[in-house]
């Protein structure tokens, strides 16, 4: 298995990834003016491109200017200028690897202080106990809003291809909109988008069909899917197996498996199932089980930091290993593995009893490292999580002011561009 980690991975659409290591998507929240990629993001991706991964997947790019996961989210819609995205793709491919854009709609997972819309399959809010008020109250989407959102995904994918990206990854995990439709806990609809798994998967399947129609056959289309939501009565591994089977005929190249949501942040290493805590590759057991029957190649992300773990994942039938936090701390880790070396540092653990706050602090720590890399500095993985969280909150406040100023002009542009 030692050699397989650095062997090519051919894709159904015709391209091949240079090796089996991917930088998984991490939400950078580093958009510049106009919600566009700027010099910081370009510098960050040049650094990762030099690190030796066969594939870089961007942090989530928003398909709808009025629905952002955070105020510094990048937006690629029909009104966005393409040049900043072309520069981003060029930077990300500067090391010889491929780059895919992760495209997303947050649905109900939108902060309460954000302007815009808070949509969901049903009017079921995010339940974080005493922290629930941090999120807006969602309204159930109309059929027209669902169809318009499907079209937005296709527009973003087509524009990503035009900018020079090699593929897109459609985000249907972590409790975002497409994941919300899949979840029987969040999706309480009684129409064509609710009830049976086939109905709950309808929006995701429609998005994939629309994207595949909008891009060329050689452009990669991947899906990020929860192996499980880790919530009683939620989307589970058997559901994931059935959805993967539904994706196979639609021209999907790869399915990335993760898990959890804001309500059960398993993707941060805190799954509800205690047996998977405190070890690498959080979702490996589920991934091996799904790989045994999957008609599509699978990618596994979550807690992989060592080469022997990566090789164990590949030995379990997974085709591609994804790393996020590990590459925010050691951006050249794939190159180190090739040279027989490992990372010499780990991110400081967050052992707070408040699960929601600990998850937010953990993500703030990761973004703190990304911002340091973007400025040309070395990561400081020992940074205290409270410092990272407070610093991030100050930056988010500034970004929110910018976003509130920008959004009305973006709406005016979109209205002006619509045919009479």
Instruction: Answer yes or no: are the C-beta atoms of 321 and 21 closer than 8 Å.
Output: yes
pTM of this structure: 0.92
- 144/128 Cα distance (integer angstroms): 30
Q: Is the pLDDT of residue 278 over 50?
A: no
Q: Is the pLDDT of residue 276 over 50?
A: no
- 71/400 Cα distance (integer angstroms): 5
The predicted structure's pLDDT at residue 311: 94
The predicted structure's pLDDT at residue 118: 97
In this structure, what token pair is assigned to residue 258?
């993760």
- 360/362 Cα distance (integer angstroms): 5
- 102/25 Cα distance (integer angstroms): 7
pLDDT digits (tens, 9 = 90+) for 63-84: 999 999 999 999 999 999 999 9
Maximum C-alpha span of the chain: 62
What pairs with residue 104 in β-bridges?
62
- 392/234 Cα distance (integer angstroms): 31
The predicted structure's pLDDT at residue 134: 86
Closest residue by Cα to residue 194 from 137, 140, 117:
140
Average pLDDT over residues 16-44: 97
The predicted structure's pLDDT at residue 6: 97
Q: Is the pLDDT of residue 120 over 50?
A: yes
The predicted structure's pLDDT at residue 130: 82
The predicted structure's pLDDT at residue 420: 41
The predicted structure's pLDDT at residue 3: 53
pLDDT digits (tens, 9 = 90+) for 284-329: 888 888 999 999 999 998 889 999 999 999 999 999 999 999 999 9
The predicted structure's pLDDT at residue 273: 42
Q: How confident is the model at residue 140 (pLDDT cuts 50, 70, 90)?
A: very high
The predicted structure's pLDDT at residue 260: 56
Q: Is the pLDDT of residue 416 over 90?
A: no
Q: How confident is the model at residue 413 (pLDDT cuts 50, 70, 90)?
A: low
Helix, strand, coil share (%) of the chain residues, nearest 5: 40, 15, 45
The predicted structure's pLDDT at residue 228: 63
State the DSSP code for 350. -
Domain locations in the chain? 4-417
> Beta strand 139-140 with 119-120: parallel, antiparallel or unpaired?
parallel
Q: Is the pLDDT of residue 112 over 60?
A: yes
CA dihedral of residues 166, 172, 178, 181 (deg, nearest 10): 150
The predicted structure's pLDDT at residue 268: 47
Q: Indicate the helix (H) or strand (E) that contains 224.
A: strand 220-226
| Alpha helices (H) in 59-217, listed in sequence order | 83-92, 143-163, 177-182, 197-200, 202-214
Average pLDDT over residues 404-418: 75
Average pLDDT over residues 208-215: 98
- Average pLDDT taken over every residue of the chain: 90
> Architecture of 4-417 per CATH?
Alpha-Beta Barrel (3.20)
pLDDT digits (tens, 9 = 90+) for 374-386: 999 999 999 999 9
Instruction: Answer yes or no: are the C-beta atoms of 368 and 392 closer than 8 Å.
Output: yes
The predicted structure's pLDDT at residue 258: 79
The predicted structure's pLDDT at residue 283: 74
Share of residues in the chain with pLDDT > 70 (%): 90
pLDDT digits (tens, 9 = 90+) for 227-275: 765 566 677 888 989 999 999 999 999 999 976 555 555 444 444 444 4
The predicted structure's pLDDT at residue 274: 41
| Alpha helices (H) in 229-354, listed in sequence order | 237-247, 284-291, 307-315, 325-329, 333-338
Q: How confident is the model at residue 281 (pLDDT cuts 50, 70, 90)?
A: low
Q: Is the pLDDT of residue 337 over 90?
A: yes
Tell me the HSE value of 253 on the side-chain side, using a 13 A CA sphere. 24
Q: Is the pLDDT of residue 1 over 70?
A: no
Q: How confident is the model at residue 137 (pLDDT cuts 50, 70, 90)?
A: very high
- 281/296 Cα distance (integer angstroms): 20
Average pLDDT over residues 92-108: 98
The predicted structure's pLDDT at residue 280: 58
Q: Is the pLDDT of residue 411 over 80?
A: no
What pairs with residue 221 in β-bridges?
168
The predicted structure's pLDDT at residue 172: 96
């Amino acid at each position: 298995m030692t050699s397989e980690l650095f062997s090519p991975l051919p894709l159904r659409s015709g391209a091949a990834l240079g090796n089996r290591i991917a930088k998984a998507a991490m939400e950078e929240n580093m958009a510049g003016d106009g919600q566009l990629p700027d010099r910081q993001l370009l510098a960050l991706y040049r650094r990762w491109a030099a690190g030796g991964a066969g594939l870089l997947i961007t942090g989530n790019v928003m398909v709808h200017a009025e629905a952002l996961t955070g105020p510094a989210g990048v937006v690629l819609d029909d009104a966005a200028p393409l040049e900043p995205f072309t520069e981003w793709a060029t930077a990300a491919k500067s090391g010889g690897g491929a780059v895919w854009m992760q495209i997303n709609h947050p649905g109900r997972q939108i902060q309460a202080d954000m302007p815009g819309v808070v949509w969901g399959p049903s009017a079921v809010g995010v339940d974080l106990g005493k922290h629930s008020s941090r999120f807006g109250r969602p309204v159930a989407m109309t059929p027209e809003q669902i169809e318009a959102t499907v079209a937005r995904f296709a527009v973003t994918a087509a524009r990503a291809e035009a900018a020079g990206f090699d593929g897109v990854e459609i985000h249907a995990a972590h409790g975002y909109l497409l994941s919300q439709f899949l979840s029987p806990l969040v999706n309480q609809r009684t129409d064509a988008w609710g009830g049976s798994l086939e109905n709950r998967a309808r929006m995701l399947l429609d998005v994939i069909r629309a994207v595949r129609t909008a891009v060329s056959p050689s452009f990669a289309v991947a899906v990020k899917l929860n192996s499980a939501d880790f919530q009683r009565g939620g989307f589970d591994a058997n559901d994931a197996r059935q959805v993967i089977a539904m994706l196979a005929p639609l021209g999907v190249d790869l399915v990335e498996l993760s898990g959890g949501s804001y309500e059960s942040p398993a993707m941060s290493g805190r799954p509800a199932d205690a047996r998977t805590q405190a070890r690498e590759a959080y979702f490996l057991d589920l991934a091996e089980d799904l790989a045994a029957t999957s008609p599509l190649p699978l990618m596994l992300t979550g807690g992989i930091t060592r080469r022997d773990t990566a090789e164990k994942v590949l030995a379990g039938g997974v085709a591609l290993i994804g790393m996020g936090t590990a590459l925010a701390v050691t951006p050249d880790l794939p190159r180190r593995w090739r040279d027989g070396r490992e990372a010499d540092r780990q991110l400081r653990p967050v052992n707070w009893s408040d699960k929601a706050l600990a998850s937010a602090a953990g993500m703030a720590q990761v973004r703190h490292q990304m911002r340091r890399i973007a400025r040309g500095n070395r990561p400081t993985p020992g940074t205290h999580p409270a410092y990272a969280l407070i610093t991030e909150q100050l930056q988010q406040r500034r970004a929110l002011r910018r976003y509130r100023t920008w959004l009305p002009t973006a709406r005016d542009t979109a209205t002006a561009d619509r045919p009479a």
